Structure 1
Amino acid sequence: MKFPRANLPYPLVAVLVALLLTLNCASPEAIGKLDGAVKPARIRAHLKILSDDIMEGRAPGSRGGELAAKYIASQFEEAGLLPAVGDSSYFQNVELIGAKHTPSLTLNGAGRTWRLNPGTEFVGVTKIEQPLVSINNRQLVFMGYGVDASEFSWNDYANTDVTGKVLLMLVNEPKSENDIFFGGKALTYYGRWTYKYEEAARKGADGVILIHTTPLAGYGWNVVQNSRSREQFFVRSPAGARQLAFRGWITRGKAEEVLNAAGLNLDELISQANSASFNPIELPIRVSASVSNKFRTIESPNVIGKLLGTDPVLKKECILYTSHYDHLGKNDSHSGDGIFNGAFDNASGTSALIEIARAFSEIQFKPKRTILFAAVTAEESGLLGSQFYAQSPVFPLAKTAANINIDAVNVWGKTRNIIPLGADRSSIMEVINRVAMEMNMEISPDPMPEQGLFFRSDQFSLVKAGVPAVYLVGGLKFVGKPQDWGQKLMDDYIKNRYHGVKDEYDPSWSLEGTAQVAQFALKTGLYLANKPTMPEWHDGDPFKKIREKSIAEMAALKD
């Protein structure tokens, strides 16, 4: 059918075009009126599917993991997102090494021999790709926190040669009330268990055994046990990179037993380790350990879609939303239910991501910058999917204006507050303040700074590459509930459900809080997408130099 052409005067055409462009670009007033764009019912539909037993816990390389990825891609397509990988696919395949480990650990000395029970007393893995990796009769050294941080004038390795030895370490980092010394109460990367292994390998050690205590780790032994008893995944290291032969954890009770036999007290050692004058202690204990391994190479995809920006210049920059869809899979050796459904962690965040994408495609006011949505894999294995993306981005990192990450989103109801982890390190905070004011929400600091949540989810992979980021966490001040209700809820989750088979969908969840966080993320991204300039790290932040180098290198390519 043909319609008659209206003969409009050119000045009037110009006015109409300008009006349409104005309507198509999100003004602050328009963004402020977007409340209700995110629908809890839609989130619930995705959450029920992604956390269902049919997904088998969504482990990388599993049938359930592949099914989850295909479901997410189908929802991205239905929401109107374009394929973002080579403009033809939603899937960015990440090559992973899958490993099933059978470890053994024997400690000998002080007149005794301990043959530890795997799972209940210790866990152990390796990244060395050999069927059997073993170390025999190695010296055990207590290394305190195992930190070498020149900026804090702290080096637990000073004047100590650890080559070929096994290091017994504390998790976390030296305690401080001073915010400029190891972040005060907030955990820095030096406190993460991943750093302990990395630094010990650099120093030439053959193994590390971390002493688990719930206060220092922030979670119980069951989390360590569940996370290490399943198939492990890692990205193959560059040729020549040194790896530890043994990467282990030991329970506090067993560590105390061994230390007591050597005439030492763990609490006293912890106190000594918090002093800059601490020196490593060679223990009268020798270590023999082995790990029997079965390896396989798999591909597990990041699922990435995009919504093109409307501005001819700014559409060459992007806002990147991330949320991981993987979880721990299943363990057939469990009696009864052996599926780790991961409803809260992180089917909730993935469901919110899908709903944010749908809302972006349906709102009248479109973003000037391109919006990327990435459901990433293998977060539970050490942020591997987002790490791969940061190394092989579909959009230049120098042109990635900001990353908004959501992980384990509040499912229990609306709150009066929001916790924007990392936003205060950059000018993203200006937008966070505005959205919080519009949504009548308080901005709260990290309620558990000692657990280092900012370093434990996918935004950290982008942060390490210089991209300003915020990890949006639902608040704990629940509407209509006592002041401490939210903290008790979270404490109960960490103790009884975190990385366990009981993290399952509950039909009583209101999901109003999930929609609230998703709405906050939607508006934050839309404001950032329409600002004339990209966010910047604050002066003095260690990631500012990385960002400046990234931008400078891209500019040099154009010259």
Structure 2
Amino acid sequence: MHSHYRTLLPALCLTLAGATTTVAAADAPQLSLDTMKSLTKELSSDAFEGRAPGTIGEEKTLALLEKEFSAAGIKPGNNGSWFQDVPLVEITAENVSPLVIKGAEQELSYQYGPQMVLYSDRVTPRTEVKDSEMVFVGYGIHAPERDWNDYADVDVTGKTVVILVNDPDYETEGLEGPFNGRAMTYYGRWSYKFEEAARQGAAAALIVHDTEPAAYGWNVVESSNTGPQHVADAEHGHMDQTLANGWLQYEVAEEVLAAAGQDLAALSAAAKKPGFKAVELGLKASVSFDNKIEKQLSKNVVGILPGSDRPDEYVLYTAHWDHLGRCGADETGDDICNGAIDNATGTAALVALAQAHVAAGPAKRSIVFLAVTAEESGLLGSESYAANPVYPLENTVGGVNMDAFSMTGLAKDVVVVGKGKSELDAYLERAVEKAGREVKAEPTPEKGFYYRSDHFSLAKRGVPMLYFKGGMDLVNGGVEAGMAAAKDYGENRYHAPKDEYDPNWDWGGTMADLRLYYRIARDLANSEEWPNWVEGDEFRAVRDESRAGK
């Protein structure tokens, strides 16, 4: 699970309770508990050193997956190879100057880390923003299908844009509004805001941090955006991006806007309404830093079970094989972040599912098993596959993503992240109903979890993707036990050395969830349907365009 969000995990990532339950198999294939246990244990052993890309841990993981996929009976998925190259670039900002902002009468200066963070996605040794005019662009959204354009009637070429976090209607109680009310859309994500600023020609983009709409504190912003950052390697070196992206502390943004004779609260209120016009601030921003650049080559693993009737139509399973590698040592001196739950469980699941699908015989459509790298660095492995797909995205029917299985025992419910976005929900509903469980929407849609795991790289290019997890309402202990287990994992294990294999885990919930993953993909692979995004979803237009004429 992506490292920018370590404080959010208890809301969704459920693990480790002592409950044991018996599970009634509903329409279940033979999914191997032994495979799940042995591979989760091996992948998260100290010998794999936390499975960081570009390390001995990667080499061991790739070798293990090649062996296990081959033994399961699926085929190498990339033109006879099990692997797809994922070239990465590690960029570390060094010698970062203060951010200096000049007005007509005063000069303000802010320190890197506690007051602002900045980095560059451009693969260049030096970044310099000099006397760049500043413009407040509200939420920084250009959404023609929603008749919303914060960049209307303003030219921000070479300028520094100041942007609010989340969507204009994030404070709405329900899910109705121009941007789905309380539920975050892609337009609310920081990644979208930086991408749009680049499309508009901005020199730099600064997001105003605010804990509630960001859904994490400044500590997460600072730890995630300082130190090494990773981007996919590209021929153009990402020179089409802004010179610099970053965040401002809320109080800093207040002070900057006050220097421009503006009030942040008043401008924020105005920016929530349709027809908001960007405001030229009459200020100039300057900042500079060096970039330490290191190139790495990592790999995705791709396997396929060819379809019997329509082998050129594809159903995807995705899970990330990587974790953090060596990390901050705990009180015992252990400095390996083993990533047992996150995501040795999902990686093992790819193998267990491959075994089950092979045993059942080919489905009508092909089923692809994709173990991606560099999720923890910003979904870079899935992004690399989606940008350079082995199988055409317009022929990819849809898929499911698996990231961190529950070890709390069986839950009565299943939590869908991004419920109501696509017609794939119907496949999940049918599978869950057969299993005698209940589908629930995620409790915190405003936090935008749908945009934070590997399925998103495919979704934003139009491929319908489903993402769900075992729920909170445990058969043994109810919601209280589920919440306690999630809190324990989030505080004590998530992205820490204690995310280790435990022989006392209760696998009942994991195996029940695994049966759902099997059934959904199997039904989709035997269907003739092409599920789409619902009308009005932000990914619908790109899917309609890619499928036009099919």
TM-score, normalising length: structure 1: 0.82
1:299 aligns to what SS in structure 2?
strand
Structural mapping, 1:9-48, within 5 Å:
32-34=26-28, 37-48=30-41
Partner of 1:307: 305
For the 8 Å contact 1:219–1:495, the answer to whether it is kept is no
Q: Deviations over 1:413-436 (max 9, x none)?
A: 211111344564444333222211
- Structure 2 residue 162 is the aligned partner of structure 1 residue 162: no
Offset at 1:536?
Answer: 4.3
- Structure 2 residue 392 is the aligned partner of structure 1 residue 396: yes
- Rounded Cα–Cα distance in structure 2 between residues aligned with 1:64 and 1:419: 32
- Structure 2 residue 370 is the aligned partner of structure 1 residue 377: no
Quick one: structure 1 residues 524 and 129, their matched pair in 2 at CA, closer, same or farther if it must change by over 3 Å? Answer: same
Offset at 1:297?
Answer: 2.7
For the 8 Å contact 1:43–1:351, the answer to whether it is kept is yes
Q: Deviations over 1:504-528 (max 9, x none)?
A: 5555542332222212101111122
- Rounded Cα–Cα distance in structure 2 between residues aligned with 1:224 and 1:348: 28
Offset at 1:34?
Answer: 1.6
1:296 pairs with one of 282, 294, 297? 294
Partner of 2:354: 357
- Rounded Cα–Cα distance in structure 2 between residues aligned with 1:223 and 1:510: 31
1:128 pairs with one of 118, 122, 129? 122
Partner of 2:43: 50
For the 8 Å contact 2:186–2:538, the answer to whether it is kept is no
Offset at 1:78?
Answer: 2.6
Partner of 1:116: 111
Quick one: structure 1 residues 339 and 168, their matched pair in 2 at CA, closer, same or farther if it must change by over 3 Å? Answer: farther
The residue type equivalent to 1:80 in the other structure is G
Partner of 2:181: 184
1:104 aligns to what SS in structure 2?
coil
Quick one: structure 1 residues 543 and 106, their matched pair in 2 at CA, closer, same or farther if it must change by over 3 Å? Answer: closer
Partner of 1:459: 455
Offset at 1:337?
Answer: 5.1
Quick one: structure 1 residues 158 and 534, their matched pair in 2 at CA, closer, same or farther if it must change by over 3 Å? Answer: closer
- Structure 2 residue 196 is the aligned partner of structure 1 residue 202: no
Residues 210-219 or 37-46, more deviating: 37-46
TM-score, normalising length: structure 2: 0.83
- Rounded Cα–Cα distance in structure 1 between residues aligned with 2:33 and 2:191: 36
Partner of 1:273: 271
- Rounded Cα–Cα distance in structure 1 between residues aligned with 2:501 and 2:209: 29
The residue type equivalent to 2:44 in the other structure is S
The residue type equivalent to 2:136 in the other structure is F
Q: How many residue pairs were aligned?
A: 518
Quick one: structure 1 residues 99 and 200, their matched pair in 2 at CA, closer, same or farther if it must change by over 3 Å? Answer: same
Structural mapping, 1:79-158, within 5 Å:
79-87=72-80, 89-102=81-94, 103-109=96-102, 111=106, 113-118=108-113, 120-158=114-152
Partner of 1:550: 546
Q: Which has the higher relative contact order, 1 or 2, with Cα contacts under 8 A spaced 6 or more apart?
A: 2
For the 8 Å contact 1:411–1:514, the answer to whether it is kept is yes
2:467 aligns to what SS in structure 1?
strand
Quick one: structure 1 residues 352 and 217, their matched pair in 2 at CA, closer, same or farther if it must change by over 3 Å? Answer: farther
The residue type equivalent to 1:163 in the other structure is T
1:215 pairs with one of 212, 217, 221? 212
Q: Deviations over 1:334-377 (max 9, x none)?
A: 9955544433332332222222223323x445523222100011
- Rounded Cα–Cα distance in structure 1 between residues aligned with 2:116 and 2:41: 35
- Rounded Cα–Cα distance in structure 2 between residues aligned with 1:550 and 1:204: 27
Quick one: structure 1 residues 40 and 255, their matched pair in 2 at CA, closer, same or farther if it must change by over 3 Å? Answer: farther
Question: Identity over aligned residues, as a percent?
Answer: 39
Offset at 1:447?
Answer: 1.8
Structural mapping, 1:251-262, within 5 Å:
251-252=249-250, 254-256=252-254
Partner of 2:433: 437
2:299 aligns to what SS in structure 1?
strand
Offset at 1:99?
Answer: 1.8
- Rounded Cα–Cα distance in structure 2 between residues aligned with 1:325 and 1:451: 24
Residues 506-515 or 186-195, more deviating: 506-515
- Rounded Cα–Cα distance in structure 2 between residues aligned with 1:396 and 1:113: 51
Offset at 1:191?
Answer: 0.5
- Rounded Cα–Cα distance in structure 1 between residues aligned with 2:498 and 2:249: 23
1:444 aligns to what SS in structure 2?
strand
- Rounded Cα–Cα distance in structure 1 between residues aligned with 2:483 and 2:503: 21
* The structure with more radius of gyration: 1
- Rounded Cα–Cα distance in structure 2 between residues aligned with 1:552 and 1:278: 34
- Rounded Cα–Cα distance in structure 2 between residues aligned with 1:214 and 1:499: 21
List runs of 5+ in structure 2 lacking aligned partners.
Answer: 1-24
Offset at 1:38?
Answer: 2.9
Partner of 1:173: 167
2:353 aligns to what SS in structure 1?
helix
1:523 pairs with one of 506, 516, 519? 519
For the 8 Å contact 1:322–1:373, the answer to whether it is kept is yes
Partner of 2:411: 415
The residue type equivalent to 1:91 in the other structure is F
- Structure 2 residue 440 is the aligned partner of structure 1 residue 483: no
1:114 aligns to what SS in structure 2?
strand
For the 8 Å contact 2:112–2:118, the answer to whether it is kept is no
Quick one: structure 1 residues 56 and 263, their matched pair in 2 at CA, closer, same or farther if it must change by over 3 Å? Answer: farther
Q: Deviations over 1:83-121 (max 9, x none)?
A: 11112x211112222222223332345746434143x44
Offset at 1:226?
Answer: 3.6
For the 8 Å contact 1:403–1:462, the answer to whether it is kept is no
Quick one: structure 1 residues 546 and 254, their matched pair in 2 at CA, closer, same or farther if it must change by over 3 Å? Answer: closer
- Rounded Cα–Cα distance in structure 1 between residues aligned with 2:85 and 2:408: 34
Offset at 1:448?
Answer: 1.7
List runs of 5+ in structure 1 lacking aligned partners.
Answer: 1-30
